[in-house]
Amino acid sequence: MSDVFADLVGQDEAVVELRRAATAAAAVLRAGAFDRAPALVTASAAEPASAPGGVDPSTGMTHAWIFTGPPGSGRSVAARAFAAALQCVHGTGCGECPGCHTTMGGTHADVRMVVPEGLSIGVGEMRALVLRAASTPSGGRWQVVIIEDADRLTEAAGNALLKAIEEPPPRTVFLLCAPSTHPDDISVTIRSRCRVVPLRQPPADAVAEVLVRRDGITPDVAQWAAAAAQGHVGRARRLARDPEARKRREAVLAVPRRLTGVGAAFDAASALIEAAEAEAEASVTEADTTERAALETALGAGGTGRGAAGAMRGAAGQLKELEKRQKSRATRAQRDALDRALVDLAGFYRDALTMALRAPVAPVHTDTAALAGAGAQKWDAEGSLRRLEAVLACRAAIEANVKPRIAVEAMMLALWKG
């Protein structure tokens, strides 16, 4: 039997903490303490050791949590598993009961998941969410709000959330996911009100194990994909299963070989940008079409009655709003695709660097290890490091809103010149 935490790869410490908190939460519900006094402790940097009501903040349950870790480490997987454990009728996250099932399947009435599709989460969306989260849980346990990519909250949205976290309704739990607790990712005031669950980059062996066990992938392929994905579980699965994803990765790893001159550097930049655009388009087009059709149907498009024309005029605004949202999502998808390519490329130069230093570590990309070795000889440690830094600088520039094409062209030139 596998419980709700089974897919949280290589995160033993976090799982222990979450199990303990779920048990404490179940005890709180059993005690029925809510009618009398606030039974949960709100985490606060100022009062770490003890708290009223005898609940130890280091082991008990609290209203607001932040799951941090590198992309692919399983932040949202952890948040969802914890939500399931909170809704579990046994209070353990058994994986079998209706509470566990519906939460894991995304259909539990008291679990809301916010997945920002655009570049940021706006204040309107957050206010609506906070309002609904304050209602009494229909299942009698907890209202859980999971915010994926909480680092994409706008400042106003962050403030709306902060108010809710500062004075949480007795049965509401907020689970935030962010890359880190750096002030760039999450405001200091929100951070001070949350308990932090740090997740680490899962080791390749643990990722390979879950690919074999859960997805039925052969051990050889699983091992290769886990290493190539650099600890990103979802990416490892895609590489193992999707030939298109493998082809895109190969094209990216062919870049260092192709950089033979200025013209070639610009060509490589174009190719990389266009590949990211194509990948993003494939991922969002279907969703766009479905959404638009659904909205048009809801608005009565295709109607021929007297009211239909008037209704369509009013609907134009809603369609425009949808198009805006879809455009923002497409931009995000392109950036994500480009970022994945840059991470692959960084892995290649990292391999060259470790080889130049003769460091006893396994290469990220076993299939281009020979090429990285040749690079190591030619560039030495210093040249390899400079190239690795050029890739990382490109990622940082795009994150800081430099136009992707310009950032990638600058990077390609730096990679070529060394």
338 binds Zn ion (CB under 5 A): no
| Binding range to Zn ion, per CB under 5 A, among 96-104, 276-284, 299-307, 322-330 | 96-104
Q: Is the CB of 9 or the CB of 88 nearer to Zn ion?
A: 88
Binding mask 270-289 for Zn ion (x = CB under 5 A): --------------------
Q: Which of residues 100-119 bind Zn ion (CB under 5 A)?
A: 100
CB of 144 to Zn ion, least distance (A): 14
- How many residues of this chain interact with Zn ion, rule: CB under 5 A? 4
Question: According to CB under 5 A, which one of 28, 40, 83, 94 is a site residue for Zn ion?
Answer: 94
Kindly tell me the sign of the dihedral angle through the C-alpha atoms of 33, 5, 233, 244.
Answer: negative
Residue 358's region, left for phi above 0, alpha for psi from -120 to 50, else beta, is left
For the record, the structure tokens of 345 come out as 């490329």
54: left (phi over 0), alpha (psi -120 to 50) or beta: left
The distance in angstroms from the start CA to the end CA of the chain is 53
CB of 94 to Zn ion, least distance (A): 4
Tokens of 2: 């596998």
Instruction: Yes or no: say if 50 and 63 are a contact pair by the CB < 8 Å rule.
Output: no
Q: Which is nearer to Zn ion, 6 or 97 (CB)?
A: 97
Work out the burial of residue 255: count CB atoms within 10 Å of its CB; fewer than 13 is exposed, 13-18 middle, 19 or more buried: buried
Q: Are 65 and 176 in contact (CB under 8 A)?
A: yes
Positions 29 through 88 that interact with Zn ion (CB under 5 A): 88
CB-CB contact of 299 with 312 (8 Å): yes
Considering only 27, 33, 97, 308, the residue that binds Zn ion (CB under 5 A) is 97
- CB-based contacts of 22: which residues, under 8 Å, 6+ apart? 61, 82, 85, 86, 88, 91, 92, 93
Residue 90 or 292 with smaller CB distance to Zn ion: 90
Is residue 319 within the footprint of Zn ion (CB under 5 A)? Answer: no
Residue whose CB is nearest to Zn ion in the complex, by number: 88
Rounded Cα gap, residues 194 and 42, in angstroms: 8
Q: Which is nearer to Zn ion, 88 or 217 (CB)?
A: 88
What's the closest the beta carbon of residue 25 comes to Zn ion, in angstroms? 13
**What is the closest distance, in whole angstroms, from the C-beta atom of residue 35 to Zn ion in the complex?**
25
Nearer to Zn ion, 94 or 233 (CB): 94
d(CA 343, CA 284): 22
Measured in degrees and rounded to the nearest 5, phi and psi for residue 231 equal 85, 0
Contact predicate 340/232, CB 8 Å = no
Of residues 97 and 315, the one with the C-beta less far from Zn ion? 97
| Closest CB 267 distance from Zn ion, rounded Å | 55
Rounded to the nearest whole angstrom, what is the least distance from the CB of residue 2 to Zn ion in the complex? 12
Nearer to Zn ion, 81 or 252 (CB): 81
Give the interface with Zn ion as residue ranges (CB under 5 A): 88, 94, 97, 100
